[in-house]
Amino acid sequence: MPKASGLLLDHTMQTVLSVGIDALAYGMVLFVISIGLSVTMGLMRVVNLAHGAFAMIGGYIASYATQMLGFDYGVAILVAVVGTIIIAIPVERFLYRRIYGAPELTQVLMTIGITFCVIGIANYVFGPTLKTIPLPETLRGPVDLGFRSIAAHKLFAIACGVAVAAALWYLIERTSFGVKLRASVDNAAMAASLGVRTRIVYAVSFAVAVGLAAFGGIVGAELLPIEPYYALRYMVTFLVVVSVGGAGSIPGALLACLLLGAIDTTGRYLLPEYGEFFFYLAVIAIVCVFPRGLLGRSR
């Protein structure tokens, strides 16, 4: 009897651990993709439903660079991030700039329109099939951590999330650009009158946000597979993360990603037949209790 219960306990521990690792990896991928959305939403007050489309574009470029051009994984990431930013610049200049400060409905429609266009074009250019980004040798196998082994790409995703969080923290808290960014988030008009060129701050943070989305799209391609409807399928998830965390708050977004990642992954493991029921129930509960998000500031 003691032996059996020990086995059961061991089994439970194993389940908890693998759910935990999966949740952490998923949460970190969500974080890398949606942190840019959170910052731009806090800064420019644009409900940007097309953010997932940029993550998808990054994934497509990386897939094309590795599969067709034979680039290295690292080089492909760089090419994809830069390529996505180059694609995003005219979109920002000609479309987004017209909806800064517009009512939410207008912003929603414009960005849904952009998303539909991107889906249609991606489908036309790359076809409706799933695209893979082959991982390098070092990320392919499992990694032995002593007590158990974990897929290396999940560890890589977690590491990327931690690195992005640390880099963003440094950028925003310790550099002069970060000071200007925080000033613009708090009060754009006052920052502008004090000599901050808010237009440049907007443009740079939009580029960083898009670049991070592309990076997250590539790193998370194993968990959120790249296909034309990617932009529509995860659009809601990214928006939910920002809303739950509080727009413009990095710790909030991190907390929201870990929490929602944990709820979603646990739900999938334990009650798969309920689908995303508990995920959305949790979202409603959190947003009702914290209408500004978990760590969002009241205005």
Longest dimension (CA), the chain: 75
Q: Is 105 in the site for another protein (CB under 8 A)?
A: yes
Which of 158/283 has CB closer to another protein? Answer: 283
∠ Cα 234 205 25 (to 5°): 40
Give the nearer residue to another protein in terms of CB position, either 179 or 232: 232
84 in Cβ contact with 54 (< 8 Å): yes
Number of residues this chain uses to bind another protein (CB under 8 A): 47
Can you list the alpha helix ranges (DSSP code H) found in 147-249? 152-174, 176-186, 188-193, 198-219, 230-233, 235-245
Nearer to another protein, 170 or 277 (CB): 277
Question: Site residues for another protein, window 139-198 (CB under 8 A)?
Answer: none
Give the shortest CB-93-to-another protein separation in angstroms.
14
The residue among 249, 183, 237 whose CA lies nearest residue 41 is 249
Binding pattern to another protein, positions 242-261, x when CB under 8 A? xxx--x--------------
Q: Which of 6, 20, 141, 291 binds another protein (CB under 8 A)?
A: 291
- Calpha distance 99→19 (Å, rounded): 41
Considering only residues 110-139, where is the footprint of another protein by CB under 8 A? Answer: 110, 112-121, 123-124, 128
Q: Which is nearer to another protein, 1 or 105 (CB)?
A: 105
Distance CA 283, CA 243 (A): 9
3-class DSSP state of 150: strand
The site string for another protein over 38-67 (x = CB under 8 A, - otherwise) reads ---x-----x--------------------
Residue 27 CB contacts under 8 Å (≥ 6 apart), including other chains: 161, 257, 258, 259, 260, 261, 262
Query: By the criterion CB under 8 A, which residues form the site for another protein?
Result: 41, 47, 95, 98-99, 104-106, 108-110, 112-121, 123-124, 128, 228, 232, 236, 239-240, 242-244, 247, 273-277, 280-281, 283-284, 287-288, 291-293
